[in-house]
Every structure is written in C-alpha cells, then in structure tokens.
Structure 1
Amino acid sequence: MDFGRGTRADAAGADDGLLHDEGLIRRAKALACTAPLHDLDANKGLVEWADARVYQMAEIGLHTIDQVAIAMDFDTGASRRHVLSRVQRFVARQAPERSDEEHARVARWVLDSLINLGDVERAFRRPYGAVDATGVYRVLVFPFKLIVERRDSAGVLYLHASHEALNVLVGALDTDVESAQEAAEVKLANLIRRGRLTDAKQVAEQARVRTIQYGELIHAQLEATRRNIQAVDWREKFPELLSEALAHVQERVRAERAIARNMAEARDEAVNPVRKRQAAELVDIVEDCIRRHIRLQQRLLEARGVFRAEQDRQQFSVQPHRSTFDLFGQLLRPALDLPVSDAVGAVDCFFSRSAGPAVPDLPYLATLVPALLRPAPEPPRFAGRVEEPEVERLEETTRFTAAQWEIAEQLLHLPGEVRSLSSLLEEAALIDADLPALVALLGLHAYCPDAGAAQRRGQDQVRVAVRADSALDSVGFAGDDLWLTTARVQQPLPDVSDRAGQAQDTEAGT
C-alpha cells in the first residue's frame, strides 16, 4: 500500500512538472521565430515575375537580418537602401546569369516578407500550446516581429532588427546575453591563440550581434520608461541591471582592446596573404565591437538622467481621464471571430455612440424671406448665335472591295474537289496582291464551320477546311496548311405528321 501511494505521488509530481514546463514554451516560441524563414522557400514558387526556384530564400533572409543588425545603432537603425544594396550583391552570387533588376526585386521581396507587409500590425503569429493552472491544454498565439520599420526624431524611416530576429541570427535561443557574450569572447581568445582565424571570425561576428542584442535590452527599457515610468522597476531591478551592464561593458572593452592589439600584431607579422586578410577582418570586427560598447556605455551613463527627466515630466503632466480605444484590436478582430448574431450588438453599440446625434440644418429667417420674395430673373429672348458645326467626311475603312470578295468566293467554291490553301494563295497572288489575305481569312473561317446554322438558314453548301500534314509557307503566310472543299448541306426531311398534313391539304385543294 505504501508503495502504491508513493507511485501516485511520483506521478502527481511528474504531472506538476508538465503543468509548469516553461522551457517547453520557450523552445516552442523560439522554433516559431524560424517559421518565416522557412516560408520564404515554401512560397518562392508563387512568385509570378521570375523563376525563383534557383534562389535560397532562407539564406537571403538570414543575410538580410544580418545586414540590418550590423548597420543599426543604439538609437537609430539601418537604411533601407543600404540594406537592399548589400543583399542584392548576395542574391547576385546565387544566380549571376540573371539580370540586376531581378536581383533587386528578389532582395525587396525578401525584405518585405520579413517586415510582413501583408499584415496590418506587421506581426507574425504562430500557435503554441500551454497547460493552464487547471490542467487544461490550450492553444495560444505568439505574435512576434523580425524586422521593424521605425522613425527617428528627424522623421527618417529606418529598419530595426527585433530581439527575436537576433535570436534567429545567432542561434542564441533562450540564452542569457551577458554570459553568452563572455563565453564567446573567451572562445574567441582561445581560437586566436591556436591560430584558427576562420573560426575566430565567426565567433567574433556572433559576439558583435550579441552586443547589439544587449543594447536592445537597455534601449527597450528606456523606451518603456519614456512611455510610462511605472512600467519599469526603477527601485531595484533596472538600477541593478544598469550597474551590471556598466561593469560588463568596462570588462569587455578592456578584453576586446587586448584582442584587437594582439590581432593587429599578428596581421602585421603575417606572411601568408590569406592569413593576413583574415587577421585584418578580425581586427575590424573587434574594433566595431569596441565602438559599440563605448556607445552603449555612454547610454548607460545617461540612463539615470533619462529616468529623472521622465519622472518630472510624467509627474506634472495631465493624466488622461479615458484610455484610448484600439478599433482594430479591440473591436474589429474580436467581432470577426464571433457569429453575426453575437457581433451585431457590439458593432451597433459602437457606431451609435461614436457617430453622435444628427443635427438638422435650420434656415435663417433673415435670409430666407428675401430669397423667397425675390422676383424670378427674366429669361433672354434669344439664346445666342448658333455656330455652324464642322462636319468631317468619314473615309471608307473597308480593306477589301466587292470585286475582291467575289473573286475570293469563286476561288473557294470547290464542289466536288479538294485544294490546298497554299495553292489557292499562290493563285490569288497572281490575280491581286491584296487577295491572298482575304483568301487566308476565309480559309481559316472555314476550319470550324457551323453546319447547323447553314442548315437553319437554308443554305445548300458550306465551306469546310481540315488540317493537312504539310507546312504552309506561301506568299508571306506560314503555319499549318489546310485542305479546302465545299460540302453539300442536306436539309432535314419533314416529319410524318407534316407529310400527312401536306397530303390532306393537297386533296382538299383538289
């Protein structure tokens, strides 16, 4: 009995672990961030203006995120023109035989897909599952963005890589940024000492992106402070984060300067041109990390000043008495998910309250009475001078004359014989230079004759054309040759009742 109770307790503990598996939810969200990159390759067959199957769209998407992340700064982002220019060169490497216009269009298509221009909120949405406190499994929606369009203080539009995009770029799914960067720089120093400069360059590029990601965390907290100072914990959590960030930046700058100095010496002493180029690229990347850390340090030192300024501004500003209403997110989207009978009440209530009462127009008595008593104006006796219209004679637009139509009909009247279209064209060319075009037109019209219509009209003959096994190349006409003939149309026999009625009429007449 004790063994059974222990087993049920273990099972209950296991179930509790499943109920609160936050790691599973984080991994599901991290996996969802890669879905737009896979959709690029899945949807490239739908591109109508080019054969996009030769392009690796997911790689182009990663390269686009890379260019945006490298070009953006703490307060500003990447220029759209600069990013498209860099991505276009990468696209041209995949298909050098294609035109530059197609390369530029592919780069724009990938960038617009990562921005998600087709959505009003410019956000991707992926479902994921979670078990709530009652033990019920529910499917939720995870909204995220990869590349965001923003405007700076001067109103200039720029591109910004989101936190999820940086995770997709460096593969740092659910990792601590500071510890990951320290580990990356220790790994970088070890690779440099061992002379593996190619691997060291990859680690240095990842460390640079992690620096950008670390700055994004600070920037997001400062932006939230500017919107609402109560949304950020400035009592304990964020001041500790600022202190840790300042200490981290100072240590990273010292370590990176030592790495850059050693790599500069290795670059100057290298004899192999490949090794010298790799060392020079490494020096540039590490120096860029140093510049970013110095700018980040400046923003960290200014963060407490931002807090004090926003505290004074928001404390003495007039608080709004009513919150703003999101028409799209709070009314339209929920109403579209409801049945019509349930959505009518909410929509009718909104429009009746938002439209307001209609005020009728009231006439002003001081202007209405003179207007009614004013005598009508006297119409003029004559309407004025009537201008003589200019009449232009229409020119005859008929291409073929009646004589040409008659000759063509005679050539194509073939009862009891079959002739090819090529021979008829050659014969028509000897008669008149414009006649072959009319003969060819009538011959094509006879390819699918309407025998039923000819029978109803009472015609006894119809022109018929069938395809020949030879090619047509005569008098400037090319294609498949035709066999032409004139077939006799047999009129339908009268019905038996009709014949009996005709016989009775004949007898009566007799």
Structure 2
Amino acid sequence: MPDDGLIRRVKALACTAPLQALEDNKGSLGRVDARPYHMVELALHTIDQVAMAMDFDKGAEHAKVIEQVTHFAAVQVPEQQGHEHRVVAEWVLHKLINIGTLDRGFTWTYGRVDGEGTYSRYAFDFKLLVEHSTSDGHVYLRVTDEAINVLVGALDTDVESAQVAAEHKLEYLINRGRLEDAKLAAEQARYRTVQYGEYLRQYLDATRRDVRAVDWEQQVPTLLEDALKHIEARYRHESAILTNITEHRDGARDARKKRQAAGLVDIVRECIHRHMQLQARLQGAGALFRKEQDRQQFSGPPQRAAVDVFNQLLVPLLGLSVGAAVAPVSDFFRFGVAPVPPAVTSMGSLVGRLLTVRSESSVYAGAVPVPEVQRDGEAVRFSEEDQHIAGKLIDLAVEETRSLSALLSEARVHGPSVERLVLHDAVHAFSPALSEAMLRGDSTVLIATPAVGELDVPSLGGDELLISRVGLKAPEGEWDDDVSRDEEFDE
C-alpha cells in the first residue's frame, strides 16, 4: 500500500542532504583549511540569519549575512585568520544558493508504491535559499519552505496546526519553568510565523504576474479570512504568554533564569510584530488584486521570453572549437535578427518608383506655430481655517464615541468644505493604518465601525458609522518599568 508518511520522511532527509554535502566536501576548499569548521552548524546559522531578516518586501542582504556567519565561524575556529573565516562563510552561502547550476536547485530521487503495488521513481526538486530582486534594483536573499522545515525538523506541515501546537507547547513549558526548552519552542513558533507570511507573499507575487493564475473567487478570499482569524487568535494567545513570561522574569531570583526569560520576551514580541505586519498585508491584498486586474487588462498580450545569451549560447560554445562553434553562432544570429522586408515587391512598384519625379526638399520645415497658452484659475483648495475646524471636530478624546451623522451635522454649520474634510477623515478611519501609526509612535488612532441604521444626512447615503479614538500600546523597547503590565497591553 502507498505510504505517504515514508515519502514525507524521505523528503525531510532530502532537504538535509545539501547540508551534509557541505561537511563531506569541505576538503575541496583549496584556499583555506576548512577541516576544523562544522559546516552543518554554519549552514543552519546562515539559514537562520536569512529567515529572521525577511519581511514581505525585502529579504536579507548578502553582505550582512556573510558578516554574521563570519563571526560565528571565528567563534568555531579562533586560531584561523579573519579572511579565512570570510572565505568559508561565502562558500557556505554560495553552496546553499547552489551557485553554478542552471536553475540553482537541488534534486532528490525517491520511490513511491502506487495502489497496484508498482514501485516508481520520482524527482523531488527543492531549494533552500533563493535570490529575489526588488523594483529598486537590489537583490535580497529569502528562505524557502523547505529551508524553514529544515530548521524546525518537519516537512509539509500545516502552518496553522503547527503554530497552535507550538504555542500550547510554549505555554506548557513556561508554566513548568523549563525556560531552555521554552526558548526552542518559541523559536519554532517564530519560524512558522515567517512561513505563513511567505505563503501570502507567494500568492501576491503570482497575482502581480498574472491574476488568472490565482483563484481570487474562492481560494484567496478564504485564505485571507482564515489568516485574519489566525492573527486575532495568535495575538491574543501570545499576549497572554508574554504576560506569563514577564511574571517569570520579574519573579525569578536566579540571574540565569532572568536572562532566559528576557530572551523569551524578545522572541514573543517579535512574533507579535510579525503578526501586525501580516495583518497590514492582508488588509491591502484586495486593493492589490484590483490594481493588478486593471493594469493587466490593458497591458496587451503576453510577450515571449527573451533568450538567455549567457547560459544558452555562450557557456555551451566555450567548450567547442572555433570551427564547430561557427555554425551554431550563425544559426543563432540568423534566427535572432528580425527579417527585413524588401523595399520593392513587384514590377509595378519598381516602375512607379523609377518614374516618380524627385521633389526638392526645403532647408526649413516652415514656420513654427506659437501656441496660445491660457491660464486656468487655481483649483479650489481647503483653507487653513477649514482644516483647523475639521481637525478640532474630529479630534475626539480617548474612548469617546460619536456618530458620523452628528459630526457632519456640526461640520455643516461651518460650510461644505469642513463637512467634506470631516467625511474624508471618517472614511480613512474605517480602515486605519495601525502598523504605520505604531511605527510613528502615535499613542492613539481614530477608528470607525459600522452601526445599525443609515446616515442621517440629506446629501449622502450609506450606513451609519461610529467614530472613536482608541489608545495604542507603546512601541517595542519603550515600555516603562514602572508601568504595570495591564497598562502595557491595554488597547
């Protein structure tokens, strides 16, 4: 009978094969004596540094990763010189990227028994580190799902169930005081958070390339809804865990326990920060789909991919002699250059061109008309007084709630411009940019929630909104030790 569990374990071992190959082939590094280094540890440390530096838009920079791995290599073999540590770090990074191959991937052959008892062989293609270019021209490193699974010791694990299990395990270990094991569980939960964000990034990247390749009718909306529920539950759970860890840190008398608890606090806070980044991306996913749909609808038919001259022509020809390389090069340029249509296609067109009287061309093209430019009146803008009045009306106290109809009624007394400004702020408050407000260090944010009923405004229609101003927690690293934990996490 088919054994899916066996295949999962084989694939899990396949992902560790490139790391074991580093240990087996470290003697081939002729410039440096690499035998004292533990290459598997250096490879795991490299993958760890790239995973922790990733976000939705960018990844890890090559130079910074090499610098961090160089420090770790210097700790392993302190008797070696500094440039030797750097050579080893670069070699490990290049091997994990698999530089030197055409697709920069690894392949592992495994077998599978089908329902009829027939044993067949298949190829499992995977990558550990990949390079991604951004719109500004920079190239960053990102880890793949296989690399994350190497770190946590599993393959093809459901992200949601793994995250919940890791958090329950973390809470249990903290309650039992096993902080060393709790630190490992917290790091695994953090890797799962990175993997969940990577899944969403792949959907968005596929949408940017072709909106038809992603199911935005059922699959992606279900994913977005599940992800928002995931963030809500994880944020509540991790906040409770963070409170528990802080109690252990403050109540511990052993200095070692305090340091371990402080490290756990940093890891859980980073998980909360990553969840907030994921929430911001989820809220903008629908707008990105509509934008890409409009852009790709008018972009025309897809173009054929360009020929890779370096890998498809130059590299194969370097191994040939001059006589053998002439024919492929001639064929390439003959088929690569577009054909030029003849100027004369028939005898009638040839006779007509020969009998055409040549006209004397003038040196000057003629008088250049001077366009008449008219100044348009300046666009109507909101005055500073209107903005001041509107800001004063919308500047509610913390936990104060007003209906949008009441605010617009007060603003209408001061004129239509003030009413328009208040309506503008209220609409933006319906989907506030929480992550940007926290990065700026704002202590409060204006939010709007739907209410029962419709707007009581003659010139406008729609549902009623409740406008309120709520407080935000302080950014990371800026908590006051004298403030109670209940106030730190009060929203």
- What's the secondary structure of 1:159's corresponding residue? strand
Identity in percent: 54
Select the residue among 143, 153, 171 that pairs with 1:189.
Answer: 171
2:268 counterpart (262, 266, 286): 286
Which of 27, 36, 46 is the aligned partner of 1:45? 27
Which residue is equivalent to 2:181? Answer: 199
Give the equivalent residue in structure 1 for 2:277: 295
Instruction: Describe the SS at the equivalent of 2:212.
Output: helix
Q: Report the counterpart of residue 294 of structure 2 in structure 1.
A: 312
Letter matched to residue 34 of structure 1: T
Structure 2 counterpart SS, 1:52:
coil
Give the unaligned 5+ runs of structure 2. 318-326, 343-491
Q: Tell whether the 8 Å contact from 1:263 to 1:282 is kept in structure 2 after alignment.
A: yes
Candidates 203, 210, 228, aligned match of 1:228: 210
What corresponds to 1:254 in structure 2?
236
Change (3 A) 1:128 1:191: same
CA distance in 2, matches of 1:83, 1:283: 24
Cα shift at 1:293: 0.5
- Is 1:120 aligned to residue 102 of structure 2? yes
CA deviation map 1:363-390 (0-9, x unaligned):
xxxxxxxxxxxxxxxxxxxxxxxxxxxx
Equivalent pairs counted in the alignment come to: 333
What residue number does 2:442 align with? none
Q: For residues 6-30 of structure 1, give each alpha carbon's deviation from its aligned partner in whole angstroms, at most 9, with x where no partner exists.
A: xxxxxxxxxxx43xx5554444333
Is contact 2:166–2:185 with CA below 8 Å preserved after alignment? yes
Gapped regions of structure 1 (runs ≥ 5): 1-16, 337-344, 361-510
User: Following the alignment from structure 2 to structure 1, what is the Cα–Cα distance between the partners of residues 310 and 135?
Assistant: 27
Please state whether the residue corresponding to 2:186 is helix, strand or coil.
helix
Conservation of the 8 A alpha-carbon contact between 2:32 and 2:87 = no
Amino acid paired to 2:73: V
- Residues 56-107 of structure 1, C-alpha deviations (whole Å, 9 max, x = no match): 1011101110111011112211122222222122112211111122112111
Q: Partners in 2 of 1:313 and 1:134 — Cα distance?
A: 49
Indicate if the aligned counterparts of 2:74 and 2:85 stay in contact, CA closer than 8 A. yes
Kindly provide the amino acid, as one letter, of the partner of residue 305 in structure 2: T
Determine if the alignment matches structure 1 residue 209 to structure 2 residue 191.
Answer: yes
CA distance in 2, matches of 1:309, 1:357: 38
Q: Secondary structure at the match of 1:54?
A: coil
Return the letter of the residue paired with 1:79. Answer: E
Does the CA contact (< 8 Å) of 2:248 and 2:261 recur in 1?
yes
Contact 2:249-2:258 at 8 Å conserved across structures: yes
Matches of 2:334 and 2:150, distance apart in 1: 47
CA distance in 1, matches of 2:132, 2:244: 39
In the alignment, is residue 239 of structure 1 matched against residue 221 of structure 2? yes
Q: 308-317 or 295-304: which moved more?
A: 308-317
Q: Distance in 1 between matches of 2:84 and 2:311?
A: 41
Partner of 1:434: none
Correspondence 1:324 to 2:314: no
With normalisation by structure 1, the TM-score equals 0.60
CA RMSD in angstroms comes to: 3.1
Residues 28 and 128, structure 1, Cα contact 8 Å, conserved in 2 = yes
- CA positional deviation for 1:150: 1.7
Equivalent of residue 106 in structure 1, options 88, 91, 108? 88
Match of 2:15 in 1: 33
Matches within 5 A, 1:86-165: 86-130=68-112, 137-165=119-147
The answer to whether the 8 A contact 2:11-2:155 is kept is no
The 5-angstrom pairing of residues 388-403 of structure 1 reads none
